[in-house]
Chains A and B, each alone.
Chain A
Amino acid sequence: MLTAQLEIDKFGRNGVESRRQPARSFVKNFINFLYTAFAQANYDMTDIDGFTRNVKYLPGELTGANLAIVPPSGNRPSVPIECIGIQVGSSDTAVTPLDYDLGERVHHVDRTPETTNAVMEAFQWSKTIGSSSVYGSNWKAAPFFVPWAVNVYSCKLRVVRSGTLTAKGPLTVGLRRCGVDGKPTGSDLISGSVDGTTLQGLPTALPGTLLEVTFDSQYVVRPYTKYALVMRLPNGDGSNYVSVTHSNESYNRPQHKRGLCAGLSSTDGGTSWSSFLNYNQIYFQVLGRRPNGLCYHGTMLRELIKPVSPPPDMEFTIEALFSNYCGTGVTVKEIGIYATGSTDTNFEAFSFLVARDVLTSPITVAANEILRVRYIVQITV
């Protein structure tokens, strides 16, 4: 029988604070991974975004690795390094076999949050610029990944105006998640608007100007997940509209992140989307600040050993360290493990929750303290 012990130690100015408890934690995704391997069968699994991914048992020699909880060796696509291995969270919602993510994951943050907004992700193009109109049911979307967790406050778009927009506002930009197909899905997570009077002040000629749209509230986006800025001007028409600018290269080659973030166009008010010609991309900036969180130092495996005095008969340790550099105390109530799974889609790897435990008592990691989490995986004959 295989079991695991959970060991949590916090190192700080006041010494070491420890928690010990049996892990009760392997969820159905762990069984799913074993099934794909034992049966050599593809299987639909739910990733940490809640999306169904058809995990391939044999996706190809040079594609991703299934059930890896540390970055896999070799030239294999993986996931952001913070999205593999041991995870920590702040929810104490009871574990169920169908859990696909932590209740509330603590973000990977390696510094104190900025006191003013900074550009956290952008596509800026200094070569040939094109433009594409936004009005009525003609929407545009700029998909993106962030390189680290960002508390999004606003965005900037390089835009131009056509016609008279004083009575055609507002221009609304929503932040949405992207679905399995990489296109916006669901409703706005947050949104912001610019009124017609402001729009009327926009230039009419390229290269246009940077227009900042401040969201009504903030939302933390994470590196694993693909999001999109979705733009619409419902009251606009074919003579009075805003145009977003984009790269305008004529060759059919992705220009940013291998085409995964090509600009998208919808003619039916966001119901369906198609990529810009030649995968050209919309000029955008995402502005915000880092959220509070813990710095994930990565997961390692230690000591595959046979203890001298069984039980257990054999064990190894999965270990990760987390530092608090954000300056604010972070309370950890849950622990989990993410593993990678592979599909044939764009040769991408995805993260899957394979274990989750709720701590019997929370532990708060104050500024500059370090948390060590260990799973001691054991078998006893």
Chain B
Amino acid sequence: MPEANIKAKTEVEVITADKVPHLLSPGELGSVLELIVKDKDGNITEKRVLRSKSFVRQFMELLWVQFQWLGAKDAVCAHSFDDRDASIFGYFYNWNANAAIGATDRGIVVGTGSTAPTIDDYTLQTQIGHGTGAGQLQYSAVTFGAPASDSTTSQFTVTRDFANSSGGAITVRELGLVVRVQTDTDASSAWSLMVIRDVITGGISVPNGQTLTVNYRIQAVI
């Protein structure tokens, strides 16, 4: 099936201090999740801003590894996004959420599962694939908004668009943030770990011909 021409353009937005959303409490490091659905003309048909609830254990394991910059001999076993044991250690590629168009194993990913998140989640319950077939969304490249801060909050933003040209509406009920990690001294052996999983109450519908933009605003609040 030929790829449909969805008129969605990824926009990198520099968030100024007066636009930093405040949903986290002092002392929290987390993320604010923005979900925006736009029609083919760019008109917003739905927008939600909510607290992302769910760093999962891989986030802590990566932080543990990176804080100590553990060597390969001291690697920590983590559960990869594709259900394998990943021995992770300190490396510069770790945390890489940069994903190309169509990449479904890194960056922001979406699914239809509605099971509540748990600390041990390592993958989405039911991931939506990339494409224009039934039940599929077109994954854009991931973009980033540079760090910004106001008097209490520091943040940066991870953004991805999901365009629907499947021919029918698709309801997104779960989201994840997946990052690359190094599991071996061989630079080619990059695996993926899911560090955040969120379930959207009631889901968010993306009608055919429309685009869902997901912003994870990673924040620290003093």
Interface residues in chain A, defined as those with a beta carbon under 8 Å from any beta carbon in chain B: 1-4, 22-28, 30-32, 34-35, 37-41, 43, 57-59, 65-70, 72-74, 76, 95-98, 301, 304, 306, 310, 313-316, 318, 339, 377, 379, 381
Whether A38 and B154, one on each chain, are in contact in the complex, defined by CB atoms closer than 8 angstroms, is no
Question: For B70, what are the chain A residues with a Cβ–Cβ distance below 8 Å?
Answer: 73
Check if B56 is an interface residue, CB within 8 A of chain A: yes
Whether A40 and B96, one on each chain, are in contact in the complex, defined by CB atoms closer than 8 angstroms, is yes
Lowest 6 CB-CB distances: which A-B pairs, in order? A72-B69, A37-B95, A26-B220, A73-B71, A313-B119, A28-B154
Whether B220 and A27, one on each chain, are in contact in the complex, defined by CB atoms closer than 8 angstroms, is yes
Question: For B92, what are the chain A residues with a Cβ–Cβ distance below 8 Å?
Answer: 37, 57-59, 66
Q: How far is the CA of A72 from the CA of B90 in the complex (A)?
A: 9
Check if B98 is an interface residue, CB within 8 A of chain A: yes
Q: How far is the CA of A59 from the CA of B92 in the complex (A)?
A: 8
Nearest Cβ on chain A to B182's Cβ, whole angstroms: 11
Check if B57 is an interface residue, CB within 8 A of chain A: yes
Contact of B28 among A2, A31, A35, A310 (CB under 8 A): A2
Nearest Cβ on chain B to A289's Cβ, whole angstroms: 35
- Interface segment, B37-45, B79-87, B132-140, B145-153? B145-153
Whether B60 and A76, one on each chain, are in contact in the complex, defined by CB atoms closer than 8 angstroms, is no
Whether A68 and B67, one on each chain, are in contact in the complex, defined by CB atoms closer than 8 angstroms, is yes
Nearest Cβ on chain B to A22's Cβ, whole angstroms: 5
Provided the pairs A38-B179, A39-B144, A379-B55 are in contact, do residues A318 and B97 lie with their beta carbons within 8 angstroms? no
Nearest Cβ on chain A to B32's Cβ, whole angstroms: 11
Check if B200 is an interface residue, CB within 8 A of chain A: no
Check if B201 is an interface residue, CB within 8 A of chain A: no
Provided the pairs A1-B53, A38-B97, A38-B144 are in contact, do residues A97 and B149 lie with their beta carbons within 8 angstroms? yes
| 25 A/B residue pairs, CB under 8 Å, sorted by A | A1-B53, A3-B27, A4-B27, A24-B221, A27-B154, A31-B149, A32-B156, A35-B147, A37-B94, A38-B156, A38-B179, A40-B96, A58-B93, A59-B92, A68-B67, A72-B68, A72-B69, A73-B68, A97-B150, A98-B149, A313-B119, A314-B60, A315-B60, A377-B60, A381-B117
The interface bits of chain B over 23-39 (1 if a CB of A lies within 8 angstroms of the residue's CB, else 0) are 01011111000000000
Question: For B60, what are the chain A residues with a Cβ–Cβ distance below 8 Å?
Answer: 304, 314-316, 377, 379
Whether B158 and A38, one on each chain, are in contact in the complex, defined by CB atoms closer than 8 angstroms, is yes
Contact of B218 among A34, A65, A66, A304 (CB under 8 A): A34
Which of A40, A98, A339 gathers most chain B CB within 10 Å?
A40
Nearest-neighbor residue (CB-CB) of A30 within chain B: B220
Whether A3 and B149, one on each chain, are in contact in the complex, defined by CB atoms closer than 8 angstroms, is no
Q: How far is the CA of A43 from the CA of B28 in the complex (A)?
A: 23
Check if B155 is an interface residue, CB within 8 A of chain A: yes
Q: How far is the CA of A154 from the CA of B24 in the complex (A)?
A: 51
Whether B67 and A35, one on each chain, are in contact in the complex, defined by CB atoms closer than 8 angstroms, is no
Whether A25 and B27, one on each chain, are in contact in the complex, defined by CB atoms closer than 8 angstroms, is yes
Q: How far is the CA of A23 from the CA of B68 in the complex (A)?
A: 20
Q: How far is the CA of A1 from the CA of B220 in the complex (A)?
A: 10
Q: How far is the CA of A70 from the CA of B220 in the complex (A)?
A: 22
Q: How far is the CA of A30 from the CA of B147 in the complex (A)?
A: 10
Nearest Cβ on chain B to A40's Cβ, whole angstroms: 5
Nearest-neighbor residue (CB-CB) of B150 within chain A: A97
Q: How far is the CA of A184 from the CA of B222 in the complex (A)?
A: 35
Question: For B29, what are the chain A residues with a Cβ–Cβ distance below 8 Å?
Answer: 1-3, 26, 30
Nearest Cβ on chain B to A185's Cβ, whole angstroms: 26
